[in-house]
Amino acid sequence: MTYPGPVREQPLAIELHNTLYAADGEPLDGLADERGLRAWLGAVRGRLPAEARGADPRRLADVRRLRDAVREVLHAATEQRPPRPSAVRAVNDASRRCPSSPQLGAARGGGMRAAIDHHGADATDIALGAFAVDAIDLVTGARRGDLGRCGAPGCVLMFLRDHPRRAWCSSACGNRARQARHYRRTHP
Ligand SMILES: [Zn+2]
């Protein structure tokens, strides 16, 4: 199965947020079942640590619990309010379950290279940790002011602004919003 929802080269925490989306005004959950989770993990796989690739779709409940927490934390950031403590705990737990450290290794050609070693965490915990760490980075890092929620009618997605006036998650949403505005102007 190909993942049917939006995956748009956004930071991982935003991709997780955006697994709740809408199509034709109907709310949809990309992680409604294990099949959906498997397909979605496949869609973001290239951006997860290599050790997360065996992540187990049967851990659906854990992924959905972290999604709730990540959504609350991202929304709190855009609303400039403190997040619910239970959400903070859930994000921190997921991060703590996959400790990691950089390791120095040999590169081909005689140089050196860095790799990240995850200590004893299983593939699913490594995936959950990657989403949690990304959420922490997003809401505390230099780009926290660039977090945006799409302003198009009916859209529930978030995005990271690549220019200060961006108000839509996609050009399709921008067009829809402009059409809606035009319709309102011409049909008073
Ligand atoms: Zn949108």
CA distance 66 to 156: 18
Residue 2 lies in a domain: no
Domain-embedded: residue 136: yes
**Ligand 1 centroid distance, CA of 88 (Å):** 26
Cα 28 to ligand 1 centre (Å): 14
The answer to whether residue 77 sits within a structural domain is yes
* Domain of 153, in residue numbers: 12-186
| Residue bearing the bigger pLDDT, 89 or 180 | 89
4 within some domain: no
**What CA–CA distances, in Å, run from 164 to 13, 67, 141, 143, 145?**
20, 27, 17, 11, 9
> How far apart are the CA of 152 and the centre of ligand 1, in A?
5
CA separation, residue 10 to residues 34, 78, 122, 152, 158 (Å): 23, 16, 25, 18, 9
**Of the ranges 32-41, 64-73, 85-94, 105-114, which one carries the lowest mean pLDDT score?**
105-114
Yes or no: say if 31 and 64 are a contact pair by the CB < 8 Å rule.
yes
- Count of domains for the chain: 1
> Is the residue at 176 inside a domain?
yes
User: Ligand 1 mean position to 170 CA, how many Å?
Assistant: 6
Q: Give the per-residue pLDDT at 179.
A: 87
Is residue 6, in this structure, part of any structural domain at all?
A: no
* pLDDT score for 127: 97
Q: How far is residue 141's CA from residue 152's CA, in Å, rounded to a whole number?
A: 26
Residue 118 falls inside a structural domain: yes
| Contact indicator for 179, 33 with CB cutoff of 8 Å | no
Ligand 1 geometric centre to CA of 115 (Å)? 36
Mean pLDDT over residues 118-124, rounded? 90
pLDDT higher than 90, residue 178 = no
pLDDT score at 79: 96
Convert the pLDDT of each residue in 14-59 to its tens digit. Answer: 999 999 999 988 999 999 999 999 999 999 999 999 999 899 999 9
Q: Residue 25: what pLDDT? A: 84
Residue 5 lies in a domain: no
Give percent of the chain with pLDDT exceeding 90: 80
Cα 168 to averaged position of ligand 1 atoms, centre (Å): 5
- CATH number of the domain where residue 138 is located: 1.10.3300.10
Work out the number of other CB atoms within 10 angstroms of the CB of residue 131.
27
Output the pLDDT for position 97: 92
- Here the tokens at position 28 are 């949809």
